[in-house]
A and B are shown apart, each in its own frame.
Chain A
Amino acid sequence: MHEWALAEAVIAAASEIADKEKLKEVTEVKIRVGELQQIEQDIFQFALSQLKSGKFKNTKIQIWTTKAELKCRACGHRWFFEREKLDASVAEAIHFVPEVAHTYIKCSKCSSPDFEVVEGRGVWLESVKGVR
């Protein structure tokens, strides 16, 4: 239930935005989830539904998934993260701390561990809409 902690973070961040924007009610929250973190969507959505209260009671939550694209800093090669190619224990470690991908994943062309995650790392709050 590590997803619960991330869901709490999303609600906390959305609350801050709602307070700043003086929203009485939040009608829509859009979330982007990167594949590198391998969030279990069912658990994440369940956690969000349980954490919704007060001005979030009737909020429609939309979640988009972004493929995780990696780019080698040494040779420029680009590729997509593929969970299926990893051992379960490695995939789990990356799930908790996506940066440990640098410990286990190498560029498939030149074997460098020096790559950047171009997109699709983790959880982002894309937008918060509501009524004042």
Chain B
Amino acid sequence: MVDPRTSIISVRLENVGRIVAVSSGKGGVGKSLVASTLALALTKKGYEVGLFDLDFTSPSTHIILGIKGVRPKEDKGIVPPVVNGLEYMSIVYYSGDYASPLRGADVSNALIELLSITRWGKLDFLVIDMPPGIGDATLDLIRLIKNIEFLVVTTSSQLAFETVRKLVKLLKELKVPVAGVVENMKMGDSKNIQQQTRKLGLIFLGEIPYDTQVEEAIGNKNRLASTVFAKKVEEIASKIRRLIP
């Protein structure tokens, strides 16, 4: 028996320009915040952008952007609603605020389902908020989306960067482009992460200082956009759009 869904995914994404998977080696580095703010920053620059929350067991981009009360439209598939200028898709439309205890195979199935039935419009960028680490979702996306590229988020911690090293090694082995590395929640002046990123042959896209204003801005798009965090992400967005994967 053949799973027919994978045969239609390339068609669903044919009007999407660049697909940027915002990923991290481990959780807690601010990946979802970077993904959400990056999507907003690209919209601000005049691009058509989609944001796809694939962190199925812990979706949070809807909380970050204050998205509620919207649903996808059903039209020969599902059409993501446009919120804050973004085409926005998340499993929370279906799982609500309840816990979704999914095992790896279930994550794969849900991911394939949403990729095969979601009808994105014409987009310059589709930003994907990935689950942390190297798991089923990462492997599935690499298998199913030929033109995917990764943006890797780390903190200044050596512990976070060691997991980045493993993720990047895998991506290189699989010949998947890496747009670059972002150092988030930076405290101090150390250039350690910057240097180690370059040693890996990757582009260091920038550092984002630890910003105490971000927590208070969660759920409020305008307030979030006025933070130092968002300004730094805008600089990173400018670099990404100039990069050719």
Contacts and interface: CB of A to CB of B under 8 A. Distances in A.
Q: Is B a genuine binding partner of A?
A: yes
Interface of A: 1-2, 4-6, 8-10, 12-17, 32, 93-94, 96-100, 102-104, 113-114, 121-126
Nearest to A5: B77
B179 to A, nearest CB: 29
B63 interface: no
Contacts of B109: 98-99, 121-122
5 contacts: A2-B117, A4-B76, A5-B77, A32-B1, A125-B2
Interface of B: 1-8, 11, 56, 74-78, 91, 93-96, 98-103, 106-107, 109-110, 113-114, 116-117, 119
A47 B32 CA distance: 37
Given A2-B77, A97-B94, A114-B101, A10 B106 contact: no
Contacts of A16: 7
Nearest to A15: B7
A103 B75 contact: no
B116 A5 contact: yes
A1 B75 contact: yes
A9 B76 contact: no
Contacts of A12: 4, 7-8, 11
B4 A9 contact: yes
Contacts of A8: 8, 11, 76-77
Contacts of A13: 2-4, 6-8
A10 to B, nearest CB: 5
Given A9-B8, A97-B94, 19 more contacts: A1-B74, A2-B77, A5-B78, A9-B4, A10-B4, A12-B4, A12-B11, A93-B93, A93-B95, A99-B113, A102-B100, A102-B106, A103-B95, A103-B96, A113-B101, A114-B101, A122-B5, A124-B1, A126-B1
Nearest to B109: A99
A100 B100 contact: yes
Given A100-B94, A103-B100, A6 B2 contact: no
B94 A93 contact: yes
Contacts of B114: 97
Nearest to B119: A5
Contact of B117 (A5, A10, A124): A5
A99 B11 contact: no
A35 B6 CA distance: 20
Contacts of A14: 4
A16 B9 CA distance: 13
Contact of A99 (B1, B74, B106): B106
B5 A6 contact: yes
A13 B7 CA distance: 5
A113 B95 CA distance: 14
Contacts of A97: 91, 94-95, 110, 113-114
